[in-house]
Each structure stands twice: as structure tokens, then as C-alpha cells.
Amino acid sequence: MNADSDAQEVDLGSLVDDDLVAQMHDDLYDGLAAEILEGTEILLERGWGPDKVLNDALVEGMRIVGIDFRDGILFVPEVLLAANAMKGGMGILRPLLAETGAERMGTVVIGTVKGDIHDIGKNLVGMMLEGAGFEVIDLGINNPVEAYLEALEEHKPDILGMSALLTTTMPYMKVVIGALEEKGLRNDQIVLVGGAPLNEEFGKAVGADAYCRDAAVAAETAQALVLARRAAAATAS
Ligand code: B1M
């Protein structure tokens, strides 16, 4: 348990916003899914926007978990509980983030690459893309190149999104893009990549159209590149 957290039950509704958010960071750290659901609902009832609840309470809480995971203070089972609690909160926010009334922008196929089972960031990106007007086909985790190719064939999306959280799995993005090039399919869709260990330079090196630092950037980039592509096609015809 987080040393700062209180073992006694806390009445979340009685806490002022800052204290509630701090308590939610502790509860996420401790993998307390019911408390994360309750805290998320309370913040929304108090008029917080879903993006603020997501970023200040959930993403920031998971950042703290990540530091102690890196430092060997937390281990896989505890981090899994934290991830599960975070997903609960995200489940409440998902329809709210998707409810922006944005015009339909197109289709995105997204998945975490082979060898990698991290999906929280990818799920967040999917949620923000839905909010930006995209239909999102989520391939889940641990996707070999064949899974991406099948999905591209089936859904003919405007965008392929790939996520990787491990330095050992991120090079697999190059394998997927290489397979698209080999089959003459690379230009059929925009390719976006993201994940904590990536950067702009890596995105360019693997031949992606763009690297996206976070979910909000992914949504903005997706919209901008789809509109640019449509404008270019209209000019050409
Ligand atoms: Co893992 N893990 N993990 N882990 N884990 C990291 C990534 C790590 C950095 C932790 C650390 O050491 N500090 C480290 C990687 C080190 C490295 O590669 N250099 C690590 C490790 C080592 C491992 C294992 C190898 C541990 C082990 O078994 N010994 C193992 C690997 C399993 C595998 O994949 N084969 C492992 C396992 C796990 C859990 C299963 C316990 C769990 C995952 C649960 C789940 O996802 N369902 C887990 C978690 C939760 C993490 C940390 C703590 C949190 C990741 C996360 O969800 N962040 C993580 C530490 C960290 O990243 N600081 C860590 C929150 C999320 C909102 O951010 O995913 O970055 P993020 O997504 C962002 C952006 O990156 C971007 O937008 C998102 C939203 O803003 N983005 C995209 C992401 N994907 C995108 C795709 C796009 C665009 C943008 O496409 C268009």
C-alpha cells in the first residue's frame, strides 16, 4: 500500500477537489477500483470535464504508479490492479469523451504491437479518436503483422495506429510498415505511432506519417492529416 494512503475508509464525497484527486492517486496506487469509480463520478457531478478527470486524476495517478514500478517498489500484480482500477474510471469517461458531436472523420484501425500487452494508452487514444469523430476498430494487444494486414484489408481505414510501451517491442512498428511497403499498401492509409518510449525521430525512422506524444495530439493529428489528404485528393481530381 502507498505509505501516504490511509487504511481507514475515506468518505470521498466529503473531500474538497484537490484532496479528492490526491486520494484518487492513492486509491489508484492501491488498485482500489470501486473507489476510482466513485471518485470519477463525484468529480463529474461537481462539473469537471471528462478530459480533466482523465488527465488530473487517472493519468497522473498512473504516472505515479509508473515511477514506483520503475524503481522496484511496485511489482506486476500491483500494477495490474492499478491498471484495472484505471480502466474502470476510463469506462465511465469513454461515452462522455465520445459525445462531442464531432462530424464523422473516417475509420481508424489501432492496436498494440506484437510482444506488448500494454493497452491503457492505446485505449485512451481510441477514446479520444472516437471523440474526434472517428470510428475506431481496436485490435487489442500483441498484434503480429498478419493481424494488422487482415484488419486493413477488412476495414480499409483512413488511419492505422500502432502503440508500443517497451523499447523491445517498438522496433516491430518498422516490421509492420515494411510489410505494407512490400505489398504496395503503404500509401493506402495514414500511419500514426505512439507510446511512452517513442519520439519524433523514431516515428520518422520507421516511416510513420506522424508520432503522437499523447492521446490529444493523436486526435488532432488524425484530423489534420485526414483533412489534408482529402484536400490533396480533391485538388488532384
Ligand atoms: Co509495464 N512497463 N511492463 N506494465 N508499465 C512500463 C512501460 C515501464 C516503462 C515501467 C518502468 O520500468 N518504469 C517498463 C518499460 C521499460 C522499457 O521498455 N524501457 C515496463 C516493463 C519493463 C514491463 C514488463 C516487462 C515488466 C515485467 O514483466 N517484468 C511487462 C511487459 C509485458 C509485455 O508487454 N510483454 C510489463 C507489464 C505491465 C503490466 C501488465 C503490469 C501493466 C500493463 C497493464 C495494461 O496496460 N493493461 C504495466 C503498466 C501499467 C506499465 C506502466 C506503469 C504504465 C503504462 C500506462 O498505462 N501509462 C509503464 C510505466 C510508464 O509508462 N511510465 C510501464 C498510462 C498511459 C495513459 O500512458 O501508455 O504512455 P501511455 O500512453 C500515452 C502515450 O504514450 C500515447 O498516448 C497515450 C495517452 O496519452 N500513446 C499513443 C500510446 N499509444 C499510442 C498510440 C498512438 C498514439 C499515441 O497511435 C496513434
pLDDT per residue as tens digits for the range 13-38: 999 999 999 999 999 999 999 999 99
Q: What are phi and psi of 134, to 5 degrees?
A: -95, 145
Beta strands 190-194 and 106-112 are unpaired
- pLDDT score recorded for residue 132: 86
Q: Whose CA is nearest to atom 67 of ligand 1?
A: 121
Centre of ligand 1 from the C-alpha of residue 166, in Å: 7
Instruction: Select from 28, 68, 69, 105 the residue to mutate for testing ligand 1; criterion: most ligand atoms less than 8 Å from CB.
Output: 69
Q: Which helix (H) or strand (E) holds 234?
A: helix 215-236
Q: Is 112 in the pocket of ligand 1 (CB under 6 A)?
A: no
- pLDDT score recorded for residue 100: 67
Centre of ligand 1 from the C-alpha of residue 112, in Å: 11
Instruction: Select from 80, 110, 118 the residue to mutate for testing ligand 1; criterion: most ligand atoms less than 8 Å from CB.
Output: 118
- pLDDT score recorded for residue 11: 96
- pLDDT score recorded for residue 101: 67
Instruction: Report H helices in 46-169.
Output: 50-52, 60-70, 76-98, 120-131, 145-155
Centre of ligand 1 from the C-alpha of residue 113, in Å: 12
Q: Which helix (H) or strand (E) holds 31?
A: none
- pLDDT score recorded for residue 169: 98
CB count within 10 Å of CB 51 equals 15
Q: In the chain, which residues have pLDDT < 50?
A: 3-6
- pLDDT score recorded for residue 98: 80
Q: Which helix (H) or strand (E) holds 202?
A: helix 200-206
Q: Please, what's the b/e burial string for 140-149 (b: 16 or more CB within 10 A of its CB; e: otherwise)?
A: ebbbebebbe
Round to whole Å and give the CA distance between 81 and 41. Answer: 20
- pLDDT score recorded for residue 159: 98
